[in-house]
Amino acid sequence: MKRIFAIALALIAMTACTTNTRTNPFFEEWNTPFGIPPFEQIEESDYLPALEEGIKQHNAEIDAIVANTEAPTFDNVIAAYDQSGHLLAKVAGVLFNLAETDNTPTLETIVEKATTLVAEHGNDITFNKALFEKVEAVNKQKSSLGLTREQEMVLDKVYRSFADNGIALDEAGQARMKEINTELSVLGNRFGNYLLKENNAFKDQFGVAISEYRDVMAQLEDRDAREKMYHAFAARGNNGNEYDTKEIIINILKLKEEKARLLGYDTPAAQILSDKMAKTPETVDAFLANIFQYAVARAKEEVKDMQAMMDADIRDGKIKVGTKIKPWDWFYYSEKVRKAKYALDEELVKPYFQMENVRQGVFNTASKLYGLQFEKIENAPKYHPDVEAFKVSDADGSLIGVLLTDYFPRESKRGGAWMNNIREQYVTLEGQMVRPIIVNVGNFNKPTEDTPSLLSIDNVETMFHEFGHALHGLLSQCHYATVSGTAVARDFVELPSQINENWAFQKEVLTGYAKHYQTGEVIPDELVNKILAARTFNQGFMTTELCAASILDMKWHELASVEGVDIVKFEAQACKEMGLIDEIIPRYRTTYFNHIFNSGYSAGYYSYLWAEVLDKDAFELFKQKGIFDPATAMSFRHNILEKGGSEEPMTLYKKFRGAEPDPDALLRARGLK
């Protein structure tokens, strides 16, 4: 998943001094490989002064657009707006990345202040009536301007950023909208910080990182210990302590509801979905309901298989008579079923999935598909010793961008996996191409003194997934930052990431990177065949928990009011109404659902399934033509990965595929239909 900081990049970097003895690194050009931030030179005290100066400079650039006496044109309004805010984006690209990956108590305080400053600055722009009048003037004449399709999309996106955020409100309405936007930014950041504290408390209690929970539960024989760990895992944010998230959630939802009403919508879901591919909550609800019926039916069959395994343990006297499968049993007994059905023991697979080898397999796949080359940048600046940097080049040797990888958990890093932009791709007004700097973040097992980082099957899939996002950012060939890279509709952004997962376990890919960390032996065909045979195993559970979380997200955002709503009771009722079986909980329960309360997936978690329809349908073409067919790969690169948001998503997809996606492609791929 990508965390987007939506401030456009600018034309010229400016300099200023903060003290008589030392220059703030943000006020200098970075004389580093490919412009990687000089992380080791940046001090925490540098951020706020640089951010404040960035806002000052951005305001001056906006004022210049407004003060221009020439007739409004695309170049002097829209392009100038797209190119503004360079210093601000430079600071934010570093600061907000570190807030998620290497936080400190001091940085946490800085980020809370910075979040307020940036939100207020965004409000000042969004409600700048004089600026909007310029934008509107260009928009009214767009059909006669001879714009490229990308320029039309940029204009539309800029215009909507004003129109859809309350520029037409009266003075009181605009003032209130500004307050709402700022409060939402602060509360979202606080939610993320609280969840980090809860995740660390879980690790302190059990010695298990949140990212390791599923793997540990699959191997933990002690049922009482499993139950205890499950309850602690599922209660994060709901412990009644100082980091309980329920009050924050209610306040976030109240603000979203008020914002939707101000903009003329009945619910937050209706407002949020208005510019997405799905368009309406009803479309999303029907989409999820269709998938859920197939998923939960399969999950019920999986429960029967696991119960049979549990009954064998009852007969052996390992557990008491009459014991039934509970949520804390799922990973343990599903692993037993997998071993019995496919003779696939994950612990026998992990030695072949050394992190560095898997990453090389990811790189090799991109090389074979898109002609990319990867070269480690020795002695590159880094914000943490775990970070590694790679120069990414095209087949002709030209620079594509820089990739930073940060794969190991630590207490200062939030859980999960994601892609971030430190610098977006764009073209300056002088025609200079600026190439991106991308970060891939994960929380995989950290190496020990005796053993390297060994990944689970899920970890491998996650690395391929996040690298798909990285490809979307790296390969971007847009002119304008407003639409470059992953700046696309939320329910389209997961297509590049999810389709990349499809290569992870193809036999010819596996045998290239899966080598035993001790012997160097290539993974044997027997084990490869077992992995492939088990690819649709447990998909009832996997799809049900994902779909349940998506439905829960929609249920919250389809409310017109949360006044008096009890979070725990509402979630329980939502799960009952959707038909969720007792043995499964949503992938994310409300109190630790970071995606929808802090990461831009509000009324959007369905996007993973929506994009999977596209990715499975697209990969069927690869399977027909050959998974490394050059023409198909280059078509996907040119029509999807390079285009960003420079065209409507479905138009891009049909240019690649030649038709709209088959909605049953997801069900077929998951073995559900």
pLDDT in tens, 307-319: 999 999 999 999 9
Residues of the chain with CATH 1.10.1370.10: 207-316+540-673
What's the CA gap between 541 and 636, in Å, rounded? 31
Give the per-residue pLDDT at 599. Answer: 86
- Give me the amino acid identity at 293: Q
What's the CA gap between 261 and 258, in Å, rounded? 5
Asked if pLDDT for residue 358 goes beyond 90, the answer is yes
Does 430 participate in catalysis according to the annotation?
no
Strands of the sheet containing 418-423, edge to edge, are 373-376, 388-393, 399-406, 437-441, 418-423
Asked if pLDDT for residue 468 goes beyond 70, the answer is yes
Least confident of 5-9, 50-54, 131-135, 219-223: 5-9
CA distance to 187, 541, 583, per residue, from 300 (Å): 38, 9, 9
- 366 close to 351: Cβ distance less than 8 angstroms: no
Give the per-residue pLDDT at 5. Answer: 36
Straight-line distance from the first to the last Cα atom of the chain, in angstroms, rounded to the nearest whole number: 27
CB atoms within 10 A of CB 419: 28
Mean of pLDDT values over 241-248: 98
**Counting every residue, how long is the chain?**
673
- 564 close to 374: Cβ distance less than 8 angstroms: no
Give the per-residue pLDDT at 570. Answer: 98
Angle formed at CA 463 by CA 460 and CA 467, multiple of 5 degrees: 145
**Which one, of 648, 597, 615, lies nearest residue 489 by Cα?**
648
What would the two tokens of residue 419 be? 């892609």
Strand partners, 44: none
Q: What is the pLDDT of residues 510-560, one digit of tens each?
A: 999 999 999 999 999 999 999 999 999 999 999 999 999 999 999 999 999
Q: What is the pLDDT of residues 620-654, one digit of tens each?
A: 999 999 999 999 999 999 999 999 999 999 999 99
**Which one, of 228, 184, 229, lies nearest residue 209 by Cα?**
229
Q: Is 351-535 CATH 1.10.357.10?
A: no
Mean of pLDDT values over 288-307: 98
For tokens 């470059």, the residue is 484
Mean of pLDDT values over 295-314: 97
Give the per-residue pLDDT at 11. Answer: 28
What would the two tokens of residue 355 be? 């992190």
**SS3 call for 273:** helix
Which stretches within 207-280 are classed as H helix?
213-219, 223-234, 246-262, 268-272
What would the two tokens of residue 104 be? 């400190």
**SS3 call for 524:** coil
- Mean of all residue pLDDT scores within the chain: 95
- 516 close to 487: Cβ distance less than 8 angstroms: no
**Residue 176, CB half-sphere, CA atoms under 13 Å: how many?**
14
- Listed in sequence order, the residues at least 6 apart from 139 whose beta carbon sits closer than 8 Å to its beta carbon are 155, 156, 159
Asked if pLDDT for residue 10 goes beyond 80, the answer is no
What's the CA gap between 620 and 627, in Å, rounded? 9
Give the per-residue pLDDT at 600. Answer: 87
- What is the pLDDT confidence band of residue 12, given thresholds at 50, 70 and 90? very low
Which candidate in 61, 335, 424, 466 is catalytic?
466
**Which one, of 587, 513, 494, 604, lies nearest residue 545 by Cα?**
587
What would the two tokens of residue 162 be? 């004003």
**Which one, of 212, 504, 223, lies nearest residue 353 by Cα?**
504
Asked if pLDDT for residue 241 goes beyond 50, the answer is yes
What's the CA gap between 356 and 363, in Å, rounded? 11
Which phi and psi (to 5°) does residue 321 adopt? -60, 140
Q: What is the pLDDT of residues 360-404, one digit of tens each?
A: 999 999 999 999 999 999 999 999 999 999 999 999 999 999 999
Mean of pLDDT values over 595-601: 93
- Give me the amino acid identity at 344: L
What's the CA gap between 131 and 507, in Å, rounded? 55
- What number of helices (H) and strands (E) belong to the chain? 26, 7
Q: What sign does the CA torsion over 300, 301, 304, 310 have?
A: negative
Residues of the chain with CATH 1.10.1370.40: 351-535
- What is the pLDDT confidence band of residue 331, given thresholds at 50, 70 and 90? very high
Work out the burial of residue 92: count CB atoms within 10 Å of its CB; fewer than 13 is exposed, 13-18 middle, 19 or more buried.
buried
What's the CA gap between 451 and 642, in Å, rounded? 39
**SS3 call for 432:** coil
Q: What sign does the CA torsion over 350, 524, 356, 620 have?
A: negative
- Give, as one character, the DSSP assignment of residue 401: E
Q: What is the pLDDT of residues 96-124, one digit of tens each?
A: 999 999 999 999 999 999 999 999 999 99
Q: What is the pLDDT of residues 488-501, one digit of tens each?
A: 998 999 999 999 99
Strand partners, 420: 3, 439
Asked if pLDDT for residue 16 goes beyond 50, the answer is no
Beta strands 399-406 and 437-441: pairing type?
parallel
- Give me the amino acid identity at 72: P
Give the per-residue pLDDT at 21. Answer: 78
Give the per-residue pLDDT at 19. Answer: 41
Q: What is the pLDDT of residues 649-671, one digit of tens each?
A: 999 999 999 999 999 999 999 99
Mean of pLDDT values over 48-59: 98
Concatenated DSSP letters of 550-568: HHHHHHHHT-S--TT--HH
Dmax (CA) for the chain in angstroms is: 86
Burial 57-88 (b: 16+ CB within 10 A, else e): bbbebbeebeeeeeebbbebbbbbbbbbbbbb
Q: What is the pLDDT of residues 196-213, one digit of tens each?
A: 999 999 999 999 999 999
Please give the torsion angle defined by the CA atoms of residues 446, 448, 451 and 455, in that order, rounded to the nearest 10 degrees: -10
- 610 close to 665: Cβ distance less than 8 angstroms: no
The percent of the chain in helix, strand and coil, each rounded to the nearest 5, is 60, 5, 35
Least confident of 5-19, 431-445, 489-503, 644-658: 5-19
Asked if pLDDT for residue 344 goes beyond 80, the answer is yes
Q: What is the pLDDT of residues 122-153, one digit of tens each?
A: 999 999 999 999 999 999 999 999 999 999 99
Give the per-residue pLDDT at 20. Answer: 53
For tokens 């409507």, the residue is 648
* CATH superfamily name and code, 25-126+128-165: Endopeptidase. Chain P; domain 1 (1.20.1050.40)
Question: Which CATH architecture describes the domain 207-316+540-673?
Answer: Orthogonal Bundle (1.10)
Asked if pLDDT for residue 13 goes beyond 90, the answer is no
Percent of the chain with pLDDT over 70: 97
Q: What is the pLDDT of residues 563-572, one digit of tens each?
A: 999 999 999 9
What's the CA gap between 250 and 271, in Å, rounded? 18
Concatenated DSSP letters of 190-203: HHHHHHHHHHHHHH
